[in-house]
Amino acid sequence: MALPRSNHSSGRQASLALVAALVLIVIWGINFSLQKFVFNVVGPGGFLFARYLIMPLCAVLLLAWRFGRHFPRITRREFWQLAQLGVVGHFLHVGMVTYGIHWSTAFSSSLILACGPIFTLLILRIMGLERLHKAQIAGVAVAFVGVLIFLSDKLVGGNWRATGGDLFLLVAASLFSYYTVAAKPLIERHGGVVTMSYATLFGSVPVVLFTLSAGLSAPWGSVSLAVWASLIWSVTVSAFLGWLVWGWVNSVRGVARTAPLMYLMPPVAGLVAWLFAGEQYTGIKLAGAGLTLAGVALAQFTSRGAREAPAPVD
């Protein structure tokens, strides 16, 4: 018996959204090692400088495609709110993520950033927007123990550079959680495209100014085609188009069904780093990673409602 056309169409769209989400998870997992490859040539500062010359252009082109010459107007209050989002989400979050990845490893970076939902829960609790249930508190505790186990080899071995990178990433994850909560009212009023594009434009200014020296001193004249291709791919496909696709996937599949896919990203990042970057993992590190992801999943998916899971800004 043939299904009604509307049901068949929605089922086909849902299947397409699942495929797109899985492809995006692979792209994001690969991107950790890809960025470290670029950092080795132009440095994290040079990468950020180039990224935030390209990102504003992408944002303007997207707004022009969506709205033509007349971009949506915002109030003075919304201007400052979007400027704050730009500073927190791009200057602070992406800046700290970039240097954290540079100092740490691809697998560690992906795992630490996967702890973002934990910070979202804590921020909602601090702001009085939600209570934490026993299972959520247990999930936070399990994830915290998992992170300590995961980092134990670095701490015992005195690898302070990598440990500092991981701590940078933890702070960056908390900043993105704040960004997620703070952006929600603006997204509800103006939509994701307008909010994210304006925040990108405002946030690009301090990033470019901060990385100007590093960007101008980077050896751009001797950069290979492979490095250029990796940089362009990382900025335009993984970062900019990535959050657009992820937003569409959430709208089709729903946040509750899509959010768990984010926990596939650390295994993908770890596998890619092991195959192509020579990263090695001990049993203790893998156990800590598994415990961390289990704790995050427990904390996020035992609440009354599904937690919002936006794409990472980075």
Quickly state the pLDDT bin for 126 (edges 50, 70, 90). confident
How many percent of the chain have pLDDT more than 70?
Answer: 87
Whether the pLDDT of residue 6 is over 60: the answer is no
- Percent of the chain's residues with pLDDT above 90: 41
Distance (Å, whole) CA 76 – CA 66: 23
Q: Taking a C-beta distance cutoff of 8 angstroms, is the pair 59, 201 a contact?
A: yes
pLDDT band at 157 (very low <50, low <70, confident <90, very high): low
Contact 49, 57 (CB under 8 A): no
Give residue 200's pLDDT: 94
Q: Reply yes or no on whether the pLDDT at 167 is more than 50.
A: yes
Check residue 194 and give its pLDDT: 92
Lowest-pLDDT range, 15-29, 115-129, 173-187? 115-129
Greatest CA separation for the chain: 67
pLDDT at 91: 96
Quickly state the pLDDT bin for 262 (edges 50, 70, 90). Answer: confident
Q: Are 228 and 38 in contact (CB under 8 A)?
A: no
Q: How many CA atoms lie within 13 A of 313 on its CB side?
A: 35
pLDDT of 195 above 80: yes
The mean pLDDT value for 55-84 works out to 94
Tell me what the mean pLDDT of segment 62-73 comes to.
92
What pLDDT sits at residue 8? Answer: 60
Q: Which of 299, 307, 293, 298 is nearest to 264 (CA)?
A: 293
Cβ 170 vs Cβ 143: under 8 Å = no
pTM: 0.84
Rounded Cα distance between 118 and 134, Å, is 14
Predicted pLDDT of residue 139? 78
**pLDDT over 70 at 27, yes or no:** yes
Q: Report, as an integer, the average pLDDT of 97-119.
A: 86
Q: Which pLDDT value is given to residue 310?
A: 55
Is the predicted pLDDT of residue 305 greater than 60, yes or no?
no
pLDDT given for residue 65 in this prediction: 93
For the beta carbon of residue 200, count every other beta carbon within 10 angstroms: 26
Q: How confident is the model at residue 1 (pLDDT cuts 50, 70, 90)?
A: very low
Task: Kindly tell me if the per-residue pLDDT of 266 is higher than 50.
Answer: yes
